[in-house]
């Protein structure tokens, strides 16, 4: 450092050097590497530079293992061409990863629809924001910051692909989970003690999750929570029983959910399966009418004459 320089110019020079280093290293710089690259800068000045940049929101401080990493925070605000973009960006930023509808942006920004559409398109092209289709409204999009991952309330999570519910995938998982529990139940029947039989018929969701992963039927990495959602559908269908046990290893409330296959409590009879009960034109159905049980293809599917 030049001793003739004023403290403010030294600080400004060090700040520029610091930000340039971070700009050249998108993944960030460790504290140790920073000390080597800015060895000529006094430690106190380096500390002041880091604190000033953190306070100004120009950098972010991350921790990787035991190392501190300094990373340049890409501030899209610096790329604003006008006040309208600034206003729209702030509104979208407040919405977080849930996103915000165009109508809400228009209401809050008070911009005409034509002007707002132009601003949104420009900001998308500059990768400030992005539009994401929401499962809650067909053909509608929500806007969020470009670097955010949309939450499951927008994408639908594991069971949705391109906003379409993967019913076949869910049904396959449903069948495989139930098949595993039935096999577990049948194996447990070989035990002599009734208590042992019942305990052996239960299994944790983590066990079923491992089984599904080994089958390789899913292209996505299913979590235990995903499998528990499938198991809940089996519980509602009356095919599976769920209970909780004390578990000191549980990361949540000290309990763990366990499941086992059971015999359905109610067998569906032919009368329950017949379509007449939910037919929207049942009141117009007569033996000699245009709508007739003799002509009904659904009726004939359930009963033979």
CATH number of the CATH domain containing 113: 1.10.10.10
- Record the pTM: 0.48
Q: Residue 207 falls within a domain, yes or no?
A: yes
Q: Residue 171 falls within a domain, yes or no?
A: yes
Range of the domain at 154: 77-160
Q: What is the pLDDT of residue 250?
A: 61
Distance between CA atoms of residues 149 and 184, nearest Å:
39
Q: Residue 1 falls within a domain, yes or no?
A: no
| Among 72, 107, 123, residue at a domain's last position | 72
CA distances, 10 to each of 38, 58, 116, 210 (Å):
13, 19, 44, 59
Q: What is the pLDDT of residue 272?
A: 56
For residue 7 the two structure tokens come to: 């403290």
Which residue(s) pair with 100 in the sheet? 143
Per-residue pLDDT of the chain (305 residues), as tens digits, is: 445 556 777 787 888 888 888 877 877 888 888 888 888 888 888 888 888 877 766 787 777 767 788 887 765 455 677 888 888 988 988 888 888 999 999 999 999 999 999 999 998 888 888 988 877 666 678 898 887 778 776 777 777 766 677 788 888 999 999 999 999 999 988 888 888 888 899 999 889 999 998 888 887 788 888 899 899 989 988 889 998 888 766 655 668 889 999 876 555 555 555 677 767 777 788 888 778 877 777 766 655 43
**What torsion do the CA atoms of 88, 90, 95, 99 make, to the nearest 10 degrees?**
40
Q: Residue 178 falls within a domain, yes or no?
A: yes
Q: Residue 2 falls within a domain, yes or no?
A: no
Which residue(s) pair with 301 in the sheet? none
Q: What is the pLDDT of residue 56?
A: 67
Cβ-contact 205, 227 below 8 angstroms: yes
Asked whether residue 62 falls in the same domain as residue 37, the answer is: yes
Query: Domain count of the chain?
Result: 4
Q: Residue 66 falls within a domain, yes or no?
A: yes
Asked whether residue 106 falls in the same domain as residue 60, the answer is: no
Asked whether residue 47 falls in the same domain as residue 111, the answer is: no
Q: What is the pLDDT of residue 166?
A: 77
| Among 22, 57, 72, residue at a domain's last position | 72
Asked whether residue 100 falls in the same domain as residue 16, the answer is: no
Asked whether residue 247 falls in the same domain as residue 200, the answer is: yes
Q: What is the pLDDT of residue 305?
A: 38
Residue 224 CB-density burial (10 A; 0-12 exposed, 13-18 middle, 19+ buried): middle
């Amino acid at each position: 450092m030049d001793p003739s320089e004023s403290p403010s110019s030294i600080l400004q020079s060090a700040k520029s050097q610091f930000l340039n280093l971070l700009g050249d290293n998108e993944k960030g710089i460790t504290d140790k590497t920073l000390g080597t690259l800015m060895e000529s800068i006094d430690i106190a000045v380096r500390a002041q530079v880091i604190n000033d940049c953190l306070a100004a929101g120009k950098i972010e401080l991350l921790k990787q293992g035991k190392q501190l990493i300094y990373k340049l925070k890409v501030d899209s605000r610096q790329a604003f061409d006008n006040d309208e973009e600034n206003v729209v960006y702030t509104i979208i930023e407040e919405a977080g990863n849930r996103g915000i509808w165009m109508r809400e942006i228009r209401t809050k920004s008070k911009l005409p629809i034509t002007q707002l559409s132009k601003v949104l398109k420009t900001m998308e092209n500059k990768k400030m924001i992005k539009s994401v289709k929401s499962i809650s409204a067909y053909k509608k999009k929500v806007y969020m910051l470009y670097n955010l991952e949309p939450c499951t309330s927008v994408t639908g999570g594991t069971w949705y692909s391109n906003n379409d519910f993967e019913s076949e995938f869910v049904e396959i998982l449903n069948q495989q989970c139930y098949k595993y529990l039935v096999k577990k139940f049948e194996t447990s029947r070989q035990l002599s003690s009734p208590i042992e039989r019942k305990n052996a018929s239960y299994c944790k969701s983590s066990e079923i999750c491992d089984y599904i992963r080994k089958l390789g039927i899913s292209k996505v990495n299913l979590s235990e929570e995903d499998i528990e959602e499938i198991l809940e559908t089996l519980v509602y269908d009356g095919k599976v029983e769920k209970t909780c046990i004390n578990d000191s290893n549980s990361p949540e409330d000290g309990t763990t959910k366990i499941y086992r296959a059971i015999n359905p409590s109610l067998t569906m009879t032919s009368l329950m399966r017949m379509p007449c009960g939910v037919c929207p034109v049942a009141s117009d159905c007569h033996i000699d009418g245009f709508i007739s049980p003799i002509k009904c293809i659904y009726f004939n599917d359930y009963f033979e004459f």
